[in-house]
Amino acid sequence: MVGLVAVCHSRALARAAAALAAEMLHGRPVPIEIAAGLDDTTFGTDAVAIAAAITAADRGDGVVVLMDLGSAVLSAELALELLDEGPRDRVVLCPAPFVEGLVAAAVVAAAGADRREVADEALAALAGKQSQLAAPPAADADPASGTPAGVSATITVTNHHGLHARPAARLVAQLREYDADVEMRNRSTESPWVHASSFSRVATLGALRGHEIEVRASGPQAREAVDQVMALAARAFDEAATAKPAATVTRVETGAPVLVGQPASPGIGIGPAWQSRPAAPDLPDLPSRGQAAESRRLEDALAAVRRDLQRIRAGTARDAGETPAAIFDAHLMLLADTELLADVRDRLAHGLPAPQAWSAATDRIAAEFEALPDPYLKARAADVRAVAEQVLRALLGLPGAALPAAGVLIAADLTPAETAGLDPDQVAGVLLAFGSRTSHAAILARTRGIPAVVGLGTAVLDVPAGTQVAIDGGTGEVVVAPPEPVLARFRARDAEQKSHRERARALASTPAATRDGVPIAVGANVGSPADARAAAEHGADLAGLVRTEFLFLGRDTAPPADEQEAAYREIAEALRGRRITLRTLDVGGDKPLRYLPTAAEENPFLGVRGLRHSLEHPLLLAEQLLAIVRVARDVPVSVMFPMVSTVPEVIRARQVLDDAIARAGGGPPTGLRVGIMMEVPAAALKTAAFAPYVDFVSIGTNDLTQYALAAERGNAALAALADGTDPGVLRLIDAVCRGAGDRVAVAVCGELAGDETAVPLLAGFGVRELSVAPRSVPTVKEAVRATSLGHAARAAAQALSLADAAAVRALLAAAPGDQ
């Protein structure tokens, strides 16, 4: 009997496809081996594993190998090189559709067909679907291309920087979901047709804003594919509006130029400026070890870089959100680009060693970007070279590129990986030409305690290396080559801030109360057990928000209740018995789960997310609540439902919670409290209607602000607008506190809670719990202690009548903490 091997990037997908195929065999077993994933959770393919699977599946009649996409083909071909000549001759690499092909191949293999018949049947596996859907017959081929004529359309690019890397990655990712052969050409430049399934080819169309792009497709889902392209183009390929750098004010202070940008991470930084980057590694002049060995080297390097990028992407998504994390999607797609890998494979076949083959192929793509007329698209060559260098270093066994010596780092922008690699003991500060306070670089700089100013404009890039620079990340001031009197003032300011932080750290574990003696709990927002340990070290009174998504994202199956319970207990133990507030799963259109595919949404921020998503998947919610109830038997636990809009949603969620309590047995846990996130303006205005069903509400000021001001929080162009101290947002906070009354406690767990200058405002409205980043706990407690509640209440009332956030912040600056 012919054996089958399923080669797939995802182990879960391969197992499911094999199980589906086995369902069709009715007791007639067929050898089906799986060579998929690098482990249970890491995508990738491994040639050695494929060779072993072929050997296991071969019962003497040969083996048919089916592959899913991209580097799976390269890995399968390498696997053949690892086999002896006899077994190798009995193997057929079949380009059939993965799932349909595997099912069809299993059926005919069970009937005793030979390997060629099995492969042919797998190739024809789409015939039934094509017939059922009445797919249009193939027409005459276009003389300029081998793609048959079919459905076509013309779109206009509206993206500010054209169809560059990120929108191109979005396009390619979407089109890969369709069974269609899609090509594109730039009508405006009369470019040649390129396959839309190749990320690098699409990006090199040089499509600028206003260019017309022709699209044509053939195949069973040609119409759906073209419709998807048109829909993506209509919404600018889901790319947020691109920001111009904030206006930079330049003045002269005692003879020294002063740049003023956006304050992004508080603190004083003084040191020499540096912008240098390490030189690219040299290619060794060594001969090829043979195509098989060099292919194996390349596979190993790609897998290593892929794992690293996936790790960084997951961390960035957790810490900074999906918008900045999406930059890694284009990087990951480049690693799997079929055309790039085919080019490398061809060079390996012609005797080049892997480093030279990879370098030459990526240099070609980078050169094509650099040849484009648009400056922004030309600059994308740097992205290609950055990813290429990562792989090259892995190929050569070199460590990652190290950052230069101590000082103030100046850059146009920083990637999450670069920011995460900064050493706070070496980097005195960060100055960025672009970006915003809500950018990934700024958020990560704050979490690492590195002073930062962003949005300074390109003038900052002209600061010579080695020039002394003084920055204030709390005010946005940057002084270049400061004279001694200016340096003295910055040093005095730094000493004062350090003294303040030291006093705060000394009292971090002491509960905070206002000058009037009103206690205000200061908790921490955590997203992992490590965060919980940091929260305890910084004196957090509780975990005011536990983002449970860390258990659900980046995997192929949902975590069972036992696994969740263990993770929640680990967080509780780290906080030494303090209350933990477990927010139920907050995912949806903008944060999809791999194992719960959802329909595409034109605006995922207004789609099926938060509690809406959980109620659509009640079994998932039931398992999570069961784990939470079990933990609540032993430690104080609050369960919090996110993105609530209506009272019926809360009633349904409480019913699922009651069921979980019944399943756990023993009645309701005595320390269990139930609350909701206030992130939707309509919900905030009807807080009194929710009051009978909850013990507390927690205001998520990040989402509340973006919805109230129609300003997406990750959009750098709207950074100045998306300010939680806007009087409109403050009115919503005031409405929540009034609607909650005396019975329902009010907390704030959004970014505004960590803004020390805003603490008096929140206290004045009636907020009695703040939840912030772990390292901010001590200083926020100090801000509470400096607040006079009577003055704060009067300032809060006054702030509601002001015109904008700037006026509110001016009010707060006039008498900080003593309003």
Joined tokens for residue 395: 């190929």
Predicted local distance difference test score (pLDDT) of residue 460: 84
Name the burial class of residue 493, with classes exposed (0-12), middle (13-18) and buried (19+) by CB atoms within 10 angstroms of its CB. middle
Residue among 440, 538, 613, 791 flagged as catalytic: 440
Residue among 164, 538, 749, 791 flagged as catalytic: 749
Asked about 749 being catalytic, the answer comes back as yes
Predicted local distance difference test score (pLDDT) of residue 240: 52
**Are the beta carbons of 60 and 1 closer than 8 angstroms?**
no
**Are the beta carbons of 812 and 763 closer than 8 angstroms?**
no
**Are the beta carbons of 441 and 432 closer than 8 angstroms?**
yes
Predicted local distance difference test score (pLDDT) of residue 788: 94
Give residue 576's Cα distance to chain centre: 31
Does the pLDDT at position 689 exceed 70? yes
Long-range interactions of 412-418: CB distance < 8 A, separation 24+: 412/458, 412/461, 413/439, 413/441, 414/441, 415/327, 415/386, 415/440, 415/441, 416/312, 416/313, 416/315, 416/316, 416/320, 416/324, 416/325, 416/327, 416/328, 416/440, 416/441, 416/444, 417/309, 417/312
List strands edge to edge, sheet with 262-265: 249-253, 256-260, 477-480, 468-472, 268-274, 407-411, 427-432, 452-454, 262-265
Does the pLDDT at position 639 exceed 80? yes
Does the pLDDT at position 446 exceed 60? yes
Q: Which of 317-331, 426-440, 512-526, 761-775 is the least confident region?
A: 317-331
- Sorting pLDDT into bands at 50, 70 and 90, what band is 199? low
Q: In the predicted model, what is the mean pLDDT of the chain?
A: 83
697-706: average pLDDT: 92
Beta bridge partners of residue 591, listed in sequence order? 588
Predicted local distance difference test score (pLDDT) of residue 415: 62
- The residue among 607 and 645 whose pLDDT is bigger is 645
Q: Helix or strand or coil: residue 201?
A: helix
The DSSP letter of residue 519 is B
Does the pLDDT at position 596 exceed 80? no
Joined tokens for residue 692: 């009978």
C-alpha dist (Å) from residue 788 to 84, 513, 516, 741, 765: 82, 10, 6, 21, 13
Residue 406, φ and ψ in degrees, nearest 5? -65, 155
Predicted local distance difference test score (pLDDT) of residue 321: 44
Furthest-apart CA atoms within the chain: distance in Å: 90
Does the pLDDT at position 695 exceed 80? yes
**Are the beta carbons of 726 and 705 closer than 8 angstroms?**
yes
Residue 299's CB: how many other CB atoms inside 10 A?
Answer: 21
Angle at 380 between CA 357 and CA 166, to 5 degrees: 105
Secondary structure (DSSP) of 75-94: HHHHHHHHS-HHHHHTEEEE
Joined tokens for residue 805: 């956030």
Task: List Cβ neighbours of 551 (8 Å cut-off, separation of 6 or more).
Answer: 559, 563, 564, 567
Does the pLDDT at position 139 exceed 60? no
C-alpha radius of gyration, the chain, whole number: 29
Predicted local distance difference test score (pLDDT) of residue 242: 41
- Sorting pLDDT into bands at 50, 70 and 90, what band is 248? very low
Joined tokens for residue 152: 């076509």
**Whole-structure pTM value:** 0.56
Predicted local distance difference test score (pLDDT) of residue 23: 67
Q: Which of 187-201, 370-384, 701-715 is the least confident region?
A: 370-384
- Best mean pLDDT range from 118-127, 159-168, 417-426, 723-732: 723-732
Rounded Cα distance between 521 and 512, Å, is 7
Using a pLDDT cut of 70, give the percent of the chain over it.
82
Predicted local distance difference test score (pLDDT) of residue 317: 54
- The residue among 199 and 804 whose pLDDT is bigger is 804
Asked about 8 being catalytic, the answer comes back as no
Sequence letter at residue 84: D
pLDDT tens track for 87-137 = 899 999 998 889 888 887 887 787 677 898 888 878 877 755 654 454 333
Residue 595's CB: how many other CB atoms inside 10 A?
Answer: 13
Residue 275, φ and ψ in degrees, nearest 5? -130, 0
Structural domains of the chain in order of their starting residue, each with its CATH number = 3-125 (3.40.50.510), 151-238 (3.30.1340.10), 249-278+402-493 (3.50.30.10), 291-396 (1.10.274.10), 513-779 (3.20.20.60)
Sequence letter at residue 300: D
Number of H helices, E strands in the chain: 33, 25
**Are the beta carbons of 541 and 774 closer than 8 angstroms?**
no
pLDDT tens track for 525-564 = 998 888 899 899 999 999 999 999 888 876 778 999 999 9
Predicted local distance difference test score (pLDDT) of residue 625: 97
- Sorting pLDDT into bands at 50, 70 and 90, what band is 260? confident
Predicted local distance difference test score (pLDDT) of residue 324: 46
**Are the beta carbons of 125 and 96 closer than 8 angstroms?**
yes
Rounded Cα distance between 252 and 273, Å, is 19
pLDDT tens track for 278-308 = 556 778 888 899 999 999 999 999 998 888 8
**Are the beta carbons of 387 and 334 closer than 8 angstroms?**
yes
C-alpha dist (Å) from residue 111 to 27, 61, 104, 598, 791: 12, 13, 11, 37, 85
Predicted local distance difference test score (pLDDT) of residue 647: 96
- The residue among 801 and 459 whose pLDDT is bigger is 801
